[in-house]
Chain A
Amino acid sequence: MKIALFVPCYVDQFYPNVGIATLQLLEKLGVEVDFPMEQTCCGQPMANTGFEKDSIPVYNHFVKTFTGYDYIVTPSGSCAYHVKKHYNIIEQTTAVKEVRSKTIELVSFITDVLKVKELPVTFPYKVGLHVSCHGQRGLKNATASEITPDHDGLVLSLLKNIKGIDLTVLNRNDECCGFGGSFCVSEEAVSAKMGIDRVNDHVKNGTQVLTGADMSCLMHLEGIVRREKLAMKVMHIAEILNGNKV
């Protein structure tokens, strides 16, 4: 299997440890991973701002960079969703179609492709999962609370099987964190309030480590956790699954 790792632009620049954890985790699972150096970004920032057409060169660059792999794995539900959903505005060549269908979020890759249900790590903390909207409602990696009272999903299924872990039950299982790309600055007041409310839900229910499969949500929540000087630690799911220390 020929696997490419796609490390989203902001993860590359600000959270190299998440990229490293993803890479190490995949290697531990016996996957040979290639990191194409030409990669940049999925193009979402411009598209969400209303400039989808300006994203086209970025889309084409992405396709060119990642053509020929069996899977393009990324530790971001949001970026994977963008490639799958929004690369419909460029000509649908075989390469484009293949890249769209083969781009996959890290946890789905582990559970659905590698069929791994359990990882040999111990994590004796109270862990609060932030379910990202693009992962849940976009990629359907979990069922939304609008549909069912049962909390399910791929990320939760992996976390449940970790030794020593205690999962936080939140008052609101899957409310948006308020990051929303450019929303986080253009609608600063609402964005911040949403983030604060999410963090408070975790505080009230005892979360020690806040995690999720989307670093963009976590970047926003971490910004609040650090501003409020809370004892909570924010880690990407890849870091926990890779056995990183808190």
Chain B
Amino acid sequence: MSHSKKASIFNKDIERTTWHDETLWFVRQKRDKMAYVIPEFQQLRDLASQIKEHTLSQLDEYLLEFERNALKNGVHVHWAADAKEHNEIVLKILKKHKAKKIVKSKSMLTEECHLNPFLQQHAIKVVDTDLGERIIQLRDEAPSHIVLPAIHLKKEDVGETFHQHLNTPKGEKDPQRLTEAARQHLREKFVQADAALTGVNFAIAETGSVVVCTNEGNADLGVNLAKVHIACMGFEKIIPRFNDLSVFTRLLARSATGQPITTYTSHFTKPRPGAEMHVVIVDNGRTQQLGREDFYNSLKCIRCGACMNTCPVYRRSGGHSYNFTVPGPIGSILSPNLDLKKHSSLPFASTLCGSCTEVCPVKIDIHVQLYKWRQQIGESNALPMSKKLSMKVMSKVLASSKLFSFSGKMGRTMIKWLPYSMTHNKSVNPWAKARELPEVPEHSFREWYKQNK
């Protein structure tokens, strides 16, 4: 189903759409306040962008440098060309340790690779420990946002889910008490876990470290209690120097949730004695994106979600309307790389207002890339023939003042003389569902000009 169809279903519940919009707008406002207070915020965005651009231009070297240093630290490094390889590598490590119970902190990469269902097929229990992720895991849903995975749910929904799964009292909807229930429930899981999986926010070539940012402390709690730590990362997470973190840690949480920094910024460099640490480096379509001149710099993304929070379309259509692991503007420029036809409606799920580009902490020109993907889609066979033909006709008309004047007059005359029920028929003219057509003037400007000048 296209984005617009899913979005129109989402919009059937006007109150909820308004609530969703306002909730995310609140996050956007928090972000603004955190950006305004740093005088050099725009300079930091430039620096972050330049560091990432540089890294992408020498990506092979930095990945190898990272591997060398990680190996020196006693960390195992694995490479996966695609999602399948990634999942198999993780499974193999878990099997070696006879690990049956796994705790996982937030990782969009493992979502992208559909790791959870894969491990479950192999009788391994994965518990997502980020509260938002746990909520949607219990509901068997996909995250609707990369930073706020359960942002589409109201506290009543969470209350109902916890009542079913965690035995909270029926009707309990107080976030404080629901969170406490989850804390108790998940402590048990942390204590029992055989292995801990985490994502990676930054991987540092210079030191071979991976940095994970959370607010809940779930990554550290999981990793530091379990015997095995597996950190999974898309290869674009790499940055060159340890000090580069100073730029990114100033930008990430401010852009994401409007906090000055995440509660925990954890630097994992060596495993503790007696434990193992693994890093899985994943491609899964990224090298292909790297080769696209117009789109490679989407790989600068640090997954802050600011473009979602600011996007007026995302806020009013919800993450699930995008039907892709990463929703919102950034997802709409990442997804066509993987399957142009399947995701062909996403670059059109935007007014090209450009707000995404302005909030992006690494200055990805998101709306420019949306426009460019539209062209690629237009040239491919992803759009219906009727649309292609109508564009050809339009082009003919608009390249000739005679045809333009003629068809303009025809159009105006038609709107004028056709009955209102026909021009404003909602099934024929989507414009008219919520809007009146412009009042038709007697003369066009050019007709007036000819008569009066």
Contact = CB atoms under 8 A, between A and B. Distances in A.
A197 to B, nearest CB: 7
Nearest to A176: B353
A237 interface: no
A57 B394 CA distance: 11
Contacts of B431: 184-185, 188, 223
B408 A9 contact: yes
Contact of A49 (B8, B374, B444): B374
A interface SS class = helix
Contacts, number: 214
B433 A13 contact: no
Interface residues of B, number: 75
B339 to A, nearest CB: 17
Contact of B433 (A48, A60, A192): A192
B401 interface: yes
Nearest to A41: B398
A41 B394 CA distance: 11
Interface in A51-77: 51-55, 57-58, 60-61
Interface string B223-257: 00000000000000000000000000000000000
B19 interface: no
Contact of B449 (A35, A50, A172, A186): A35
A120 B19 CA distance: 44
A54 B436 CA distance: 30
A187 B332 CA distance: 15
B interface SS class = helix
Contacts of A172: 25
A187 B348 contact: yes
A117 B4 CA distance: 43
A223 B351 contact: no
A57 B404 contact: no
A57 B450 CA distance: 26
B374 A48 contact: yes
A110 to B, nearest CB: 19
A40 B401 contact: yes
Given A49-B378, A189-B7, A223 B395 contact: no
B40 interface: no
A61 B400 contact: yes
Given A7-B445, A40-B400, A189-B8, A183 B351 contact: yes
Interface in B393-449: 394-401, 404, 408, 411-412, 430-431, 433-438, 440-441, 443-449
A212 interface: no
Interface of B: 3-4, 7-8, 10-11, 14, 17-18, 21, 25, 32, 35-36, 42, 310, 312-313, 316-317, 347-355, 357-359, 371, 374-379, 383, 387-388, 391-392, 394-401, 404, 408, 411-412, 430-431, 433-438, 440-441, 443-450, 453
Given A14-B412, A61-B398, A193-B17, 10 more contacts: A7-B446, A9-B404, A37-B401, A144-B355, A146-B310, A149-B36, A172-B25, A176-B353, A189-B7, A189-B8
Interface of A: 7, 9, 11-17, 19-20, 23, 35, 37-41, 43, 45-55, 57-58, 60-61, 86, 133, 137-138, 144-149, 172, 175-176, 178-197, 219-220, 222-224, 226-227
